[in-house]
Chain A
Amino acid sequence: MSDSLVTEITNAGNPVDAILRTDRMPHIWCPGCGIGTTVNSFARALIDSKIDLGSLALVSGIGCTGRVAGYVKLDSFHTTHGRAIPFATGLKLANPNLNVVVYSGDGDLSAIGGNHLIHAARRNIDLKVICVNNLIYAMTGGQTAPTTPGHSITSTNPYGTFEPSFNLPHLVEAAGAVYVARWTTFHVRQLARSISEAFKKKGFSFIEVISPCPTLYQRRNKLGDALDTMKYYKEKSKVRNGSPTSEAGLTMTGEIIVGKFVDRDRPDYGTMMRAQYAEALGDEYVEQDQREQDRMEHDRTENDQPEMVCS
């Protein structure tokens, strides 16, 4: 890469450069892969909603989408396979003031980490989960995933998939998420707006993004390249905000229902925990923030005293 080009990148002012580790570009994702587009929308949502980047942590699992953690200039974790949500839960419980985002793929979140996904939604832990769903295990060579629609050709089902697939918005709504939306990589502005909205919610927010995998899914199923897939998304996706998630199942070439499906309020894990302790322990229960403040107050008065003696 020439020096002049580097100067252009750093000085030109791509709006998302503030969020990206530009020294690691170009990234490893295939030509036309939708993950970069979702990162673009995510970065713009962060910039538009003016979130303090110092109080934000991004957690990724393993897989193509798991690489996002390495490309963003935020505090980020690249965790073990399927365990992005447990790591994020730990972060959130240890420091409740953090905004914790889980950015991972469908295989990582719904297959290996499927149990963690439903239990985090049940407990309503305050996490923003962005699930890039490319309908397949992409990094390992295109095996059937729990989200692969019926009749798709994959490396483990060369005569077509016959397993019923997960409808992720329906799953997380049933488990108790407070915010559920689905978009495709064609809906970049809607996706950015949805991510901004999720940051304003307290509780388990889940945003599914349907993304092309031109190398393994589209090619094996003769669905063309990334551009053809984006045209298919444009033509066949129907925005139905508030539509029942039970009707939002995916098929290989059929209609894709997108939109904001669920936006409701439920007390989150931290609120329920504090309410329970306050009820059970009464005055004995002191919240940690209060304790911290008391301790800092105590330290300050102790530090003041020697100064007074000196003067």
Chain B
Amino acid sequence: MAKGRVTIVVEHCKACGLCVEFCPSHVLALSSAFNSKGYHPPHVVHPENCSGCDLCGMYCPDFAIYATKVAPTEGGGK
């Protein structure tokens, strides 16, 4: 099970792609959908790989994404 969970605030995203590029476990990809400003925000493609390291949150220049650690019981245990 995943150790972390990513939350994306799609309306703040400007689609620079840093989170997609620098995610160490390749959880994200840019989606084909648009937000209201016309950017393609990222979406989660491999939720099971997320470690909750929050590197995406640290790189994001728009404060539009962050990851949180999931407690083992909450995430189903490992």
Q: B-contacting residues of A (Cβ < 8 Å)?
A: 1, 5, 8-9, 12-17, 20, 22, 25-27, 29-37, 39-41, 44, 188-189, 192, 225-227, 230-231
Contact = CB atoms under 8 A, between A and B. Distances in A.
A13 B15 CA distance: 21
Given A13-B68, A26-B11, A226-B18, A41 B58 contact: yes
A9 B9 contact: yes
B70 interface: no
A253 B68 CA distance: 36
Contact of A26 (B7, B21, B58, B62): B62
Contacts of B47: none
A5 B36 CA distance: 12
Contacts of A39: 63
26 contacts: A1-B11, A5-B10, A9-B9, A13-B68, A14-B9, A14-B57, A15-B54, A15-B66, A16-B66, A26-B11, A26-B14, A26-B37, A29-B61, A32-B18, A34-B61, A37-B18, A40-B57, A40-B60, A40-B63, A41-B58, A188-B55, A188-B59, A225-B16, A226-B16, A227-B21, A230-B21
Contacts of A225: 16
B12 interface: yes
B34 interface: no
Contacts, number: 86
Chain B's interface size range is 20 to 34
Contacts of B55: 188
A159 B9 CA distance: 42
Given A14-B63, A40-B60, A25 B21 contact: no
Interface in B17-36: 17-18, 21-22, 36
Nearest to A230: B18
Most A CB within 10 A of own CB, among B54, B55, B63: B63
Interface of B: 7, 9-12, 14-18, 21-22, 36-37, 39, 54-55, 57-64, 66, 68
A237 to B, nearest CB: 14
A5 B9 contact: yes
B60 to A, nearest CB: 7
A17 B60 CA distance: 13
A14 B22 CA distance: 19
B61 A33 contact: yes
A14 B66 contact: yes
Contacts of A12: 7, 9, 66
A230 B22 contact: yes
A40 B16 contact: no
A37 B54 contact: no
Contacts of A44: 58
A189 B61 contact: no
B8 to A, nearest CB: 10
